[in-house]
């Protein structure tokens, strides 16, 4: 590993980086020293943004990092399967426990699964997969960082759920938000629910058999990701990533059908999803074909 002039690590030298790499047990995740050095470099740039740190400050800061957690996060962000298996086994119970605080079980599971997708990184920029792990710099424990991330995701979900709530001034006295007087049927709700149900059925039919099976096992059979992985010959981490991809693809297909075929606006589409989310009769498990008869 060569440290070039101007490198934030150049002042402390290669010896310290090698010693920190041994403490981080980078070989356990087949993580190269250069890759680990890049994680240290990013952490330094984040900590001392806008000013030049002294050698003593850099050394003290690097020594204070949670190095094993940093190495695990870097290996996960680079798609190392061994690291991912360890992360899922070690941290999935923590994430689910954090997400379950004050939440319904299905909402907690949705938050946890969507977080897995962000951590793995489903989107690419300039050919490089963007992982949420890249924002972990080792200053706290990985568990402590995840606690903060989950808390923010729960806030985001709560905001999204309230996004289309009527303001008090927009409501007519004596009527509930949405326009239907008490005891009268909400015509728009009924129409929107029918539209989104039809769009969902069409979108499900457009999925390949394996992805429909994946959704059926998760929603209709209520199987865990670990069990789904065993059934489909995948790791738990892979099952989680593929499930989230399928969910995103399904939502995108439903949105396109509502927009292109029904000519709904973005606000109307969002209202469709809001009605579907809060209507007891709307159940994705009922819309899915039974697992029997599907072949992986």
For residue 231, tell me if it sits in a domain.
yes
Q: What is the pLDDT along the chain (296 residues), one digit of tens a residue?
A: 444 445 667 666 778 889 999 999 999 999 999 899 999 989 988 888 777 888 888 899 999 999 999 999 999 998 888 998 899 889 988 888 888 876 666 667 777 777 887 887 766 666 666 788 999 999 999 999 999 888 887 776 665 554 434 334 433 333 444 444 444 445 678 888 889 889 998 998 888 888 888 888 887 777 778 788 887 888 878 888 888 888 888 889 999 999 999 999 988 898 888 878 766 556 666 677 665 444 44
Are 150 and 200 within one domain?
no
Query: Which is nearest to 199 in space by CA: 151, 251, 122?
Result: 251
Are 29 and 68 within one domain?
yes
3-state secondary structure of 128: strand
For residue 175, tell me if it sits in a domain.
no
| pTM attached to this predicted model | 0.57
Range of the domain at 194: 185-287
Question: What tokens does 152 get?
Answer: 């923010």
Are 130 and 224 within one domain?
no
Are 224 and 253 within one domain?
yes
> How many folded domains does the chain comprise?
3
Q: How far apart are CA 59 and CA 12, in angstroms?
A: 7
Burial class, 15, CB count within 10 angstroms (exposed 0-12 / middle 13-18 / buried 19+): exposed
């Amino acid at each position: 590993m060569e440290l070039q002039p101007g490198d934030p690590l150049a002042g402390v030298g290669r010896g310290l980086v090698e010693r920190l790499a041994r403490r981080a047990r980078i070989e356990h995740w087949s993580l190269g020293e250069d890759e680990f050095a890049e994680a240290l470099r990013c952490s330094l740039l984040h900590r001392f943004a806008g000013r030049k740190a002294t050698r003593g400050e850099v050394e003290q800061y690097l020594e204070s990092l949670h190095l094993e957690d940093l190495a695990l996060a870097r290996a996960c962000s680079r798609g190392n399967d061994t690291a991912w298996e360890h992360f899922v086994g070690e941290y999935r119970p923590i994430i689910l426990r954090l997400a379950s605080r004050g939440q319904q079980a299905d909402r907690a599971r949705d938050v946890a699964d969507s977080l897995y997708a962000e951590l793995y990184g489903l989107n690419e920029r300039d050919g490089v997969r963007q992982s949420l792990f890249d924002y972990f710099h080792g200053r706290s424990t990985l568990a402590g960082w995840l606690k903060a991330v989950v808390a923010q995701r729960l806030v985001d979900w709560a905001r999204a759920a309230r996004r289309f709530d009527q303001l008090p001034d927009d409501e007519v006295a004596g009527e509930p938000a949405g326009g239907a007087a008490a005891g009268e049927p909400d015509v728009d709700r009924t129409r929107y629910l029918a539209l989104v149900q039809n769009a969902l059925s069409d979108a499900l039919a457009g999925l390949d058999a394996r992805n429909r099976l994946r959704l059926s096992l998760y929603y209709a059979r209520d199987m865990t990701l670990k069990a789904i992985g065993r059934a489909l010959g995948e790791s738990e981490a892979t099952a989680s990533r593929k499930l989230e991809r399928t969910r995103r693809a399904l939502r995108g297909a439903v949105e396109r059908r509502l927009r292109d075929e029904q000519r709904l606006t973005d606000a109307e589409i969002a209202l469709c999803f809001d009605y579907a989310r809060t209507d007891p009769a709307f159940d994705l498990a009922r819309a899915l074909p039974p697992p029997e008869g599907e072949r992986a």
